[in-house]
Amino acid sequence: MGIIKRIVKWIEEKKIFVRERKSNTQRALGMLLYRAGLSYNKTAVFVNASYEAVRKWYRKGRKLFEQTLEAKKRKRIAIDEKEIRINGMKVFIWAASFSNEKIIAVYVSYGRSYFEAMAFLKRVKRVCKGKMPRVFIDRGKWYPWALKRLGFERYTIVRFGPRSAIERFFGNVGWRIRKFWNAFHGMHSIESVQNWTEAFAGFR
């Protein structure tokens, strides 16, 4: 089954859209075109919709990400965070990956400390079942204390390897933000960045 048909099937099963002004195929295509690199305006032209409609479709796409947040037994995960600026606003995006591929949790914060690490790791813990997995981290001083407080007793400090999937994810996020978000004037709320990042991770 093609990816557009899969998204349409998901939209219809979950009853994501109540109104039928546009077909679910148009919505699925709009989500994919924006994710692929087109702006909201250019995507709107392709799918014969408004800028605002495409934006709302993509935001609803974050539910695709939420589908992956079921608790499972995980042997090892990798976590990391990256500073990103959007129109001069500094935020930190935190991410966790499983099996060096799938992004299983993301979190956006204004700061980077033990407290933000705790908030992020609580999201990670919700998708882990049974014995907590081994966690691969960098040398960030905010991780060890937060990990132990939440029951992640086993962790290993590494620079590459298991953390490469997250580095690729951050590279994609950075490229997307530089390409479009930095062209949007005005400040963005932490909630809007969180919603956008979840949707981005889900489509990825």
Residue 88, pLDDT above cutoff 60: yes
CA distance 17 to 173: 27
Residue 72, pLDDT above cutoff 80: yes
Residues 185 and 127 occupy one common structural domain? yes
Residue 195, pLDDT above cutoff 80: no
Q: Over the stretch 40-51, which tens digit does the pLDDT of each residue have?
A: 888 888 889 998
Provide the 8-state DSSP code for 151: T
Residues 171 and 111 occupy one common structural domain? yes
Range of the domain at 41: 3-60
181 pLDDT tier (thresholds 50, 70, 90) = low
Residues 29 and 87 occupy one common structural domain? no
Residues 26 and 99 occupy one common structural domain? no
Output the six-digit token pair for 10: 């998901």
Q: Over the stretch 6-16, which tens digit does the pLDDT of each residue have?
A: 888 888 887 88
CA distance 62 to 59: 6
> Could you tell me the pTM of the whole model?
0.76
Please count the structural domains in the chain.
2
The owner of tokens 């062209």 is 183
Residues 51 and 141 occupy one common structural domain? no
pLDDT at 178: 74
Supply the mean pLDDT for the chain: 83
pLDDT at 14: 77
Looking at the domain assignment, is residue 65 inside a domain?
A: no
Residues 49 and 93 occupy one common structural domain? no
30 pLDDT tier (thresholds 50, 70, 90) = confident
**Can you give the three-state secondary structure of 155-193, one letter per residue?**
EEECCCHHHHHHHHHHHHHHHHHHHCHHHCCCCCCHHHH
